[in-house]
Amino acid sequence: MAATEVAQSRRVVTEIPGPKSRAIQERRRSAVAQGVGSVLPVYVERAGGGIVEDVDGNALIDFGSGIAVTNVGNADPRVVERASEQLGRFTHTCFMVNPYEAYVEVCEALNRITPGDHEKRSILLNSGAEAVENAVKIARNATGRQAVVVFDHAYHGRTNLTMALTAKNMPYKQGFGPFAGEIHRMPMAYAYRWPTGPDNCGPEAADMVIDQITKQIGAENVAAVVIEPIQGEGGFIEPAPGFLPAIVDFCRANGIVFVADEVQTGFARTGHMFACEHEGIVPDLIATAKGIAAGLPLAAVTGRAELMDAVHGGGLGGTYGGNPAACAAALASLSAIESDGLVERAREIGELMLGRLRDMAGKYDVIGDVRGRGAMIAVELVKDADRTPDPESLAKVMSFCHSRGLVLLSAGTYGNVIRMLPPLVIGDDLLNEGLDLLEEAFSLL
Ligand code: PLZ
């Protein structure tokens, strides 16, 4: 089936943002809370495949997927049809009041596709933060322990508990405390910035983490280690080789629940269904959201049956968790990922992007590092050989690309990482055109 009716070509017919977008932006100022930002305030009319069309008739190349959500493309007809059919039958009953089959089917699918062939259970929720928060609740309840270990550069959400799990103060935590207790932050195996070099990074970082957990918390007090298998908001940091397996082994040996936050990396994004698979990691609990339902609000925790079922009846839930339309969208989206071969497509996208970006890195000194897997690729911008972060160049590159009709996102603790998360259905022509714009931006610095 055709993915979309939206023409798959870039078209810039006004300034960006155009006059209609600017007028809505003006109204927004007196209607919407200041605290909510927008990376590129062009107001959307429709979107499909790798294109976002705005109210002024501009068609932008989408390198963001609504932050890694529309993996199967925007408004895929199969997703729209299945969710609409569901909406026509009933919109909500609350699974905790009168359940419905689609919720069970999504859980079955998650239990099947997540890493590991052990017996699993799932719970459905509304947002990534809620999924991570529930994973922590389940781990604490099942272990009877309280401490939670997280890492430098981590991002896990904006609720009170997940703010505490998130590393970066501005903008996520500033002025929002007090934060939840019993959260312990550890060094991250960030190869590009590891003091003794990338080759030593994985084992050295793992040793430091294990030593700190043992000396500062006591392994027997730790309920969970929570980590993104590739850090997203932190700047697409792939843990250096050896780091994750060593942490998983330590968790297993000490009865600590290993929680993978695959909210951003999940559902074919990185060239595996889940990023843990790159290193053969089998998490005890896995938190998912974003790509699960192609944009309808849905999230999940999936994990070992004995942990998930340790929680007393009625201990988990929420009014909207596993909304029927979101479940229908998830079932259509998951089947599209499998039938359209999007795991393989993500790998192809990664090869194309990494090839071109490494070539650019040879030409432009501002590119300090090119990294990522599948359709989750980043470049880190630096001022000099000492790797001083260069957020100023990042701002110039972003603004050039935005003005030419490329939706591009940034990330990173130091605000100097350009990240690319195209929908997995984007064509090579649009990918190359987007990368051409990026290259032009580097050449103009
Ligand atoms: N865990 C790994 O990437 C969401 C945040 C955007 P929610 N990332 C995008 C913003 O600035 O709010 C994210 C994530 C990882 C958890 C979350 C939280 O997911 O659905 O935004 O709650």
User: What b-and-e string marks burial along 317-328, b requiring 16 or more CB atoms within 10 Å of the CB?
Assistant: eeebbbbbbbbb
Judge if the beta carbon of residue 155 lies within 6 A of ligand 1. yes
The per-residue pLDDT for 328 is 98
Q: Is the pLDDT of residue 5 over 90?
A: no
- Domain check: are 368 and 411 in the same one? yes
Atom 6 (ligand 1): residue with closest C-alpha?
67
CATH of the domain at 104: 3.40.640.10
Domain count, the chain: 2
* CA dist., res. 251 & res. 224, Å (int): 8
- Domain check: are 369 and 431 in the same one? yes
**Which residue from 188, 228, 233 has its CB within 8 A of the most atoms of ligand 1, so it is best to mutate?**
233
Q: Are 265 and 272 in contact (CB under 8 A)?
A: no
User: Mean pLDDT across the stretch 233-257?
Assistant: 98
**Does the global pTM surpass 0.95?**
yes
Question: How many whole angstroms from 164 Cα to the centroid of ligand 1?
Answer: 14
pLDDT digits (tens, 9 = 90+) for 361-411: 999 999 999 999 999 999 999 999 999 999 999 999 999 999 999 999 999
Q: Which residues contact 329 (CB under 8 A, 6 or more apart)?
A: 79, 82, 83, 293, 294, 295, 296, 298
* pLDDT, mean over the chain: 97
Q: Is the pLDDT of residue 250 over 50?
A: yes
Atom 16 (ligand 1): residue with closest C-alpha?
156
Going by pLDDT thresholds of 50, 70 and 90, the confidence category of residue 3 is: very low
- Domain check: are 162 and 69 in the same one? no
Question: How many whole angstroms from 283 Cα to the centroid of ligand 1?
Answer: 19
- Domain check: are 130 and 277 in the same one? yes
* CA dist., res. 38 & res. 44, Å (int): 12
Which of 293, 309, 339 is the endpoint of a domain? 339
Which of 339, 363, 392 is the endpoint of a domain? 339
Q: Is the dihedral of CA 185, 284, 250, 181 positive or negative?
A: positive
Judge if the beta carbon of residue 134 lies within 6 A of ligand 1. no
Q: Is the pLDDT of residue 209 over 70?
A: yes
- Domain check: are 85 and 161 in the same one? yes
Which of 321, 339, 357 is the endpoint of a domain? 339
Percent of the chain's residues with pLDDT above 70: 99
Which atom of ligand 1 is found nearest the CA of 297?
20
Whats the size of the chain, residue-wise? 445
The per-residue pLDDT for 186 is 98
pLDDT digits (tens, 9 = 90+) for 407-430: 999 999 999 999 999 999 999 999
- Domain check: are 238 and 348 in the same one? no
- Domain check: are 335 and 356 in the same one? no
Atom 1 (ligand 1): residue with closest C-alpha?
156
pLDDT digits (tens, 9 = 90+) for 70-90: 999 999 999 999 999 999 999
- Domain check: are 407 and 328 in the same one? no
Q: Are 247 and 282 in contact (CB under 8 A)?
A: no
Atom 21 (ligand 1): residue with closest C-alpha?
128
Q: Mean pLDDT check: name the lowest of 3-7, 18-22, 345-349, 439-443.
A: 3-7
- Domain check: are 203 and 239 in the same one? yes
Q: By C-alpha distance, which of 307, 315, 250 is closest to 284?
A: 307
**Which residue from 161, 290, 410 has its CB within 8 A of the most atoms of ligand 1, so it is best to mutate?**
290
Q: Are 254 and 95 in contact (CB under 8 A)?
A: no
The per-residue pLDDT for 2 is 42
Question: How many whole angstroms from 442 Cα to the centroid of ligand 1?
Answer: 29
Question: How many whole angstroms from 128 Cα to the centroid of ligand 1?
Answer: 6
pLDDT digits (tens, 9 = 90+) for 317-370: 999 999 999 999 999 999 999 999 999 999 999 999 999 999 999 999 999 999
* CA dist., res. 142 & res. 138, Å (int): 6
- Domain check: are 153 and 180 in the same one? yes
User: Mean pLDDT across the stretch 188-202?
Assistant: 97
**Which residue from 36, 230, 238, 263 has its CB within 8 A of the most atoms of ligand 1, so it is best to mutate?**
263
Question: How many whole angstroms from 261 Cα to the centroid of ligand 1?
Answer: 10
Judge if the beta carbon of residue 158 lies within 6 A of ligand 1. yes
Judge if the beta carbon of residue 62 lies within 6 A of ligand 1. no
- Domain check: are 407 and 325 in the same one? no
Distance of CA 252 to the CA centre of its chain: 26
* CA dist., res. 232 & res. 264, Å (int): 6
Q: Is the pLDDT of residue 1 over 80?
A: no
pLDDT digits (tens, 9 = 90+) for 123-165: 999 999 999 999 999 999 999 999 999 999 999 999 999 999 9
- Domain check: are 68 and 87 in the same one? no
Judge if the beta carbon of residue 67 lies within 6 A of ligand 1. yes
Q: Which range of residues forms the domain containing residue 290?
A: 79-339
Q: Which residues contact 315 (CB under 8 A, 6 or more apart)?
A: 137, 141
Judge if the beta carbon of residue 264 lies within 6 A of ligand 1. yes
